[in-house]
Structure 1
Amino acid sequence: MFKHYLTTTFSEYFENQMDDCEDALDVVDKMLERCGKGCALKIATHILRDLKQYDLVKFLEKNCIRVRLQYELKVSLKRRYGSIFEGIPRQGEQCFLSCVYVDQLLTEGRNAGVNGEHELRGYDASSRGPVGQETEIGRNDIFGPSPSRDRAIRTVLTTGIAGIGMTVSVQRFILDWIEEKANQEIHFVFPLPFRELGLVKEDNISLMELICVFFPEMKEMDFIERKDCRVLFILDGLDGCRLPLDFRRNDSVNDVRQKVTLDALLTNLVRGNLVPSALLWITSRSAAANRIPPQCIQRCTELRGFNASQKEAYFRKKFKDPNQAAQILSHINTFASLEIMCHIPVFCWVVATIFERKFSEASRYVNTKVTQFYTHYLILQTHMKNLKYYPSQATSQPWLETDPVFVCKLAELAFRQLEKESAVFYEEDLRQMDVDVQEVTLRSGLCTEIFKQEISQDREFCFVHLSVQEYLAALHVHLSYVNHHKNLLNQPLVPPISRLFKETSMFGLYKAAVDKVLHRKDGHLDLFLRFLLGLSQETTQQALEGLIPRTGSFSHNPEETARYIQKMLRENSNLERCRNLPHCLDELKCN
């Protein structure tokens, strides 16, 4: 009778599978083989209830409570983490994680520490430091033994910049555990994202109560402190934590049922006072990583983004048509700046989104110039920052009232630093620009704090990549011309009285920019020039509308600028310095 139920009610698992099962042990083995312990227990209790074998049901549920709770947890986690929003979450646009996920390796530096180094270093081989200084670690091996340590690893800290894929890596780790592909020595995995922890309303709460807030099916769990119960807590997004995390003043707590403040609960969990046998994985943007005492961390890792083969894998997964994927990859490889920026997965998504429009709207022009990609990246990072840190306000509009002011100030700072040929700026520079330091740390997709081993009074920052600085600098030059009639590359331009009677022509600005760039022998401003020309395009202006204030008007005849660039191509004998000019014509849509 039991076998009949298996093959008919649960045919997706057992149809034509039970013929060789001669006794009860064979049936159990087949059930475990086909669907695993948790699902097998669920099926067995379901059938026994139908057969009115209630005593057997109670016996199984009592003696297999861990298996049952683990199964229920996995079902809950699969529902939460089985799919993903890429970029900006929009209703109905989820996709299965496996459809887009490309595995990334983490790196562990030889001298890794919380404040060890800049969160976005160069991505070419020459800038990675001495060979052998970093060790690559698979996502599922972060709690594995380390040859440089003789003690077990309890707590792992993983850092990276905005959009690099930390939360997605956490999702993949959880799914691998659910699907029994890795880390089966861990019995329970409890993700507790800091963003969601901020929504907990209780003034005082115990660890078990907190677990049940997130996972109500765990109410019967009374064995979490037993040494034979291996638990992993994942605290994702430390940079989104609004609690003080006062490790010095919070009292020690070691009872999982003692009610304390959420802040005290988390600091005791990190210190190992609560559930000392548990594993802990913390993810954070680097700017917030120093909130965790170094002595609490046994391993520091960094998510570095896509390498060349991973970029290719992403686009080939995203676009099922191999010709479309090849077209995108060819376009990216044509422009060094795009190729470099595509190490950030969310930038790959920006590129993919623009090309999806291009492929689906073949009858309409879709701008796939370099400037357009960076413009969408700026908009995306602004929107994602608001969704993460100001969710109640970001749902009604993509940006806040303070965003245009901040972006304009950051763009001015980018231009100042570009003139100094410096990618690094300091807290004092931010104060002079009246820029909130906290706001800078929230925008680690644009600029980020540099951490150093040595103690220093001055906090250092830089843009995530020189190309981002050049884009923002070009944006400042463009806005200064349009809004204030200032040619920052060749002062002054338009007499004050004449500004009142006519629109400003952009040709004078572009001519000065071309001359300035060609005068340089090192190519320092080549990409800046391309961005400046690209910002004049109507599609770029439409994309920036609302985020960037435009109080002035201007006229632009791209053919006039193009003729001047072509003249420079003919007359300039330095072919190396003119190599950038055809790309500039491309940004103007003039060939």
Structure 2
Amino acid sequence: MDIILEKKIILTEILSAETDFILQHVQQNKLITDRDYRALKSLPQNTETSSGEVLDTLRGKGEEACQKFIVLLKQQCVLEQYPGLKDVFPDLRQGLGVSAPETPPQDPDHISKINEYRKSICFTYKNVEEYNSGPGENVLLADRYTELLIVERNRQQREIENEIRFRGEHHQQVLKTRASEANSRITVDQLFRPYDDKNVPKAVILQGNSGHGKSFTAQKIMYDWASGKVFKDLFHLVLHLKCKELNEISEANSLVDLLNYSPSFTRETEEVLKNSKMEVLFLIDGFDELKFSFEKTSTVPPKDPSTKAPLEATLSALLKGFVLPKCSLLVTTRSTASDKLSKLLSYPKRFTDILGFTEEGVKEYFQRFFKEEQLANKAFDCVRKNETLYTACFIPVICWIICTVFREKEEKGTDFTKELETPTSVFVHFVSILQEHHCQGLSQPETLLMSLGQLAERGLQEHQVLFDEKSLSAAFPDNQTTKNNPFLCKVLQRKEVKQESMYSFMHLSFQEFFAALQYLMLKNEKEALKKLRKLLGNVKRFKPVIQFLFGLSNKALHSHLIKQPWPSIQAHLQKWLLNLLKSGVNEKDMLHLLHCLYELHEDEFVRRAMGVWGKIKLPYITLTRTDCWVLLYCLQCCPTIKSLNLRYNHITAEKLRMLQPALSRCEELW
């Protein structure tokens, strides 16, 4: 605290040039709370008043926070933003402010070149483009990146099935169990920690399914290394290769040529790379996106980073350790390609798996996205009221979709608590994003979705969430579609003395969604109606599929995925529902029909159906938060309701508050 007080006047002046920058870094390093951040953010920026408040807030956090703040001020990306800090801390004039390995390279020229490279990485990687970013639009990495749940232990089949099948609170409880030490949770800075036998892994596989944040994590690692926050005692140099970009290369290239595709890699960096004393890490992002197979080739693998060879041979040489054998590797990939990758890498190697966000991670993501605590809590509470959405939020890109839609509604002045997205609409957005950004080189979109739907339906009919290679081959005759399918996950399971590859959808709810989607994609309308009648004759087993079918019948939604859906499907669904209402239904079926109306989300038809209903009886049924949200929507579509019976269903005060806006429409309330 004394050093901040001693240098407060000069620090206040220097930091006032760009207070938002230091504020972002202070929050990112968790030196202040989110509440502190919002309070400081509300002050007039780029003034000595605001920078002084930042310093005073830090002094109030105690000695440890102040010491961490001083370390932060000496990081290269901060020094680049505030050059005057070098005059505040004399030790920085000798170049000691940049975090470096404990055994730095002896050549002072190399130190200077590495520092320049770090500066460039900090500048290039501090911002991130989102899926909907326009030209020149980006956000700070610190405003989006949230720590992911990464585990090292291989899970058993029963554990994986629980992750796939469980929903809502039960699903989050499973993730909390995985986050415990017994399940070998591992953080990014521990990826290269030694094993019990003291061996340090030469290669680390960071596996994750589509939309789980692999590339985001790769960018965060690059930025944090350049800022001196991770691997500072392990690697002098960290180099980034993006496989999606490498796919565009057709001619022969050396490893150095490939690195030159990065704007941060310069001739000076190349000179440092060739220094044999260097500890170098290659971060290879998106191995699964590479177009070639890495099967045996006639090309002799290059052993010099400057030797040109076909792209497949150059990358194979790097992965197998033929070129730069002392370097370390960190490779991200989808699960569908992890076993192929593992065969290329040398021992010792570590296998890790990104499972997504825990509940705390979802909350933190909402806070970072919205910044305003009240708005973030409001959005998070809305999501918790819908079990399917709440479950899907463990996937980072689902969180982004929901937050983006919420923000758009808020900017338009719409109360998103009254216009919560249906699970169907969020899943449609999710599939559309994966189609656009992760399906390059696969079969036609409608063919792919149709095959997924048939596989999903077959699994539901047989109570199956894990599929073997034979099932996949039947669904996808094109082997490449199986390997690169972004909608499927791959797990290796021990079967006695051998391993067997099994596949699944990301969650049971996605399997149900794809099973519903195929009904609208069948080429023969009569066949589609025949299948639909059969499905509606077995409602009890396929309620979630029927609910998704109603959602996909919404005219505003199905156009995102289906060119020409059959209008007779929607007409038949609506006729079926109205006939059930007229003939009378029991309480449990009544709740299911309310969910169908909610997913359809066409107010005029919902109003018509509720008019046929007249009296809603839900006694002796314990309503979930999701049920209450659905009931609220349906009630609000009607001018009046004759009767609502909620007797003996143990409704809580929280759930009554959810229903309160519509209860005044009920002529009778039991």
Q: Same fold (TM over 0.5)?
A: yes
Contact 1:105 1:139 in 2 (8 A): no
For residues 314 and 473 of structure 2, what CA distance do their matches in structure 1 show?
A: 36
Show structure 1 runs of 5+ residues with no match: 1-6, 20-25, 39-61, 391-399, 492-511
SS in 1 for 2:448: helix
Answering whether residue 538 of structure 2 is matched by residue 516 of structure 1, we say yes
Contact 1:88 1:380 in 2 (8 A): no
In the alignment, which residue of structure 2 is the partner of 1:550? 565
Q: Deviations over 1:26-84 (max 9, x none)?
A: 84545757x6489xxxxxxxxxxxxxxxxxxxxxxx96321222123223323432221
The one-letter code sitting in structure 2 at the alignment partner of 1:261 is P
Aligned CA-pair RMSD = 3.9
In the alignment, which residue of structure 2 is the partner of 1:538? 555
Q: CA deviation at 1:340?
A: 1.6
Q: Deviations over 1:507-539 (max 9, x none)?
A: xxxxx73x632xx3xxx4232222122222222
In the alignment, which residue of structure 2 is the partner of 1:65? 109
**Aligned pair in 2 of structure 1 residues 556, 31: CA closer, same or farther (>3 Å)?**
farther
Contact 1:424 1:462 in 2 (8 A): yes
- Equivalent pairs counted in the alignment come to 506
Q: Which moved more, 1:225-234 or 1:336-345?
A: 225-234
**Aligned pair in 2 of structure 1 residues 74, 440: CA closer, same or farther (>3 Å)?**
same
SS in 1 for 2:184: strand
Which of residues 444, 452, 462 is equivalent to 2:493? 452
For residues 67 and 457 of structure 1, what CA distance do their matches in structure 2 show?
A: 47
Q: Which moved more, 1:420-429 or 1:236-245?
A: 420-429
Which of residues 407, 426, 432 is equivalent to 1:379? 432
In the alignment, which residue of structure 2 is the partner of 1:196? 245
For residues 111 and 413 of structure 1, what CA distance do their matches in structure 2 show?
A: 24
TM-score calculated relative to the size of structure 1 = 0.74
Contact 2:493 2:501 in 1 (8 A): no
In the alignment, which residue of structure 1 is the partner of 2:346? 296
In the alignment, which residue of structure 1 is the partner of 2:34? none
Answering whether residue 222 of structure 2 is matched by residue 180 of structure 1, we say no
For residues 166 and 516 of structure 1, what CA distance do their matches in structure 2 show?
A: 40
Answering whether residue 109 of structure 2 is matched by residue 74 of structure 1, we say no
SS in 2 for 1:192: strand
Equivalent positions of 1:304-343 (< 5 A) are 304-343=355-394
In the alignment, which residue of structure 1 is the partner of 2:402? 351
The one-letter code sitting in structure 2 at the alignment partner of 1:347 is I
Q: Deviations over 1:147-172 (max 9, x none)?
A: 2x432211111111001001111111
- Once the two structures are aligned, what percentage of the paired residues are identical? 22
For residues 311 and 541 of structure 1, what CA distance do their matches in structure 2 show?
A: 28
In the alignment, which residue of structure 2 is the partner of 1:86? 130
Q: CA deviation at 1:180?
A: 1.3
For residues 87 and 532 of structure 2, what CA distance do their matches in structure 1 show?
A: 80
In the alignment, which residue of structure 2 is the partner of 1:224? 273
In the alignment, which residue of structure 2 is the partner of 1:572? 586
Contact 2:164 2:508 in 1 (8 A): no
**Aligned pair in 2 of structure 1 residues 111, 279: CA closer, same or farther (>3 Å)?**
farther
Q: CA deviation at 1:138?
A: 1.0
Which of residues 484, 507, 511 is equivalent to 1:469? 511
For residues 410 and 453 of structure 2, what CA distance do their matches in structure 1 show?
A: 32
In the alignment, which residue of structure 1 is the partner of 2:217? 169
In the alignment, which residue of structure 2 is the partner of 1:57? none
In the alignment, which residue of structure 1 is the partner of 2:318? 269
For residues 357 and 101 of structure 1, what CA distance do their matches in structure 2 show?
A: 20
For residues 162 and 492 of structure 2, what CA distance do their matches in structure 1 show?
A: 8
Equivalent positions of 1:38-49 (< 5 A) are none
**Aligned pair in 2 of structure 1 residues 216, 564: CA closer, same or farther (>3 Å)?**
same
For residues 559 and 163 of structure 1, what CA distance do their matches in structure 2 show?
A: 34
Q: Deviations over 1:374-401 (max 9, x none)?
A: 1211212111224xx35xxxxxxxxx98
Contact 2:99 2:227 in 1 (8 A): no
Which of residues 207, 218, 221 is equivalent to 1:159? 207
Q: Which has the higher contact order (CA 8 A, sep 6+)?
A: 1
Q: Which moved more, 1:120-129 or 1:334-343?
A: 120-129
For residues 107 and 401 of structure 1, what CA distance do their matches in structure 2 show?
A: 33
**Aligned pair in 2 of structure 1 residues 121, 251: CA closer, same or farther (>3 Å)?**
farther
Contact 2:164 2:465 in 1 (8 A): no
For residues 120 and 296 of structure 1, what CA distance do their matches in structure 2 show?
A: 31
**Aligned pair in 2 of structure 1 residues 437, 117: CA closer, same or farther (>3 Å)?**
farther
Equivalent positions of 1:426-505 (< 5 A) are 426-433=468-475, 435-444=477-486, 446-454=487-495, 460-480=502-522, 483-484=525-526, 486-490=529-533
For residues 170 and 11 of structure 1, what CA distance do their matches in structure 2 show?
A: 22
For residues 516 and 587 of structure 1, what CA distance do their matches in structure 2 show?
A: 19
Show structure 2 runs of 5+ residues with no match: 1-13, 18-78, 101-105, 166-170, 607-633, 635-670
TM-score calculated relative to the size of structure 2 = 0.66
Q: CA deviation at 1:291?
A: 1.9
In the alignment, which residue of structure 2 is the partner of 1:586? 598
SS in 2 for 1:156: strand
SS in 2 for 1:87: coil
For residues 431 and 124 of structure 1, what CA distance do their matches in structure 2 show?
A: 33
**Aligned pair in 2 of structure 1 residues 273, 180: CA closer, same or farther (>3 Å)?**
same
Contact 1:450 1:459 in 2 (8 A): yes
For residues 158 and 326 of structure 1, what CA distance do their matches in structure 2 show?
A: 31
**Aligned pair in 2 of structure 1 residues 201, 327: CA closer, same or farther (>3 Å)?**
same
SS in 2 for 1:274: coil
**Aligned pair in 2 of structure 1 residues 277, 477: CA closer, same or farther (>3 Å)?**
same
In the alignment, which residue of structure 1 is the partner of 2:328? 279
**Aligned pair in 2 of structure 1 residues 329, 223: CA closer, same or farther (>3 Å)?**
closer
In the alignment, which residue of structure 2 is the partner of 1:100? 144
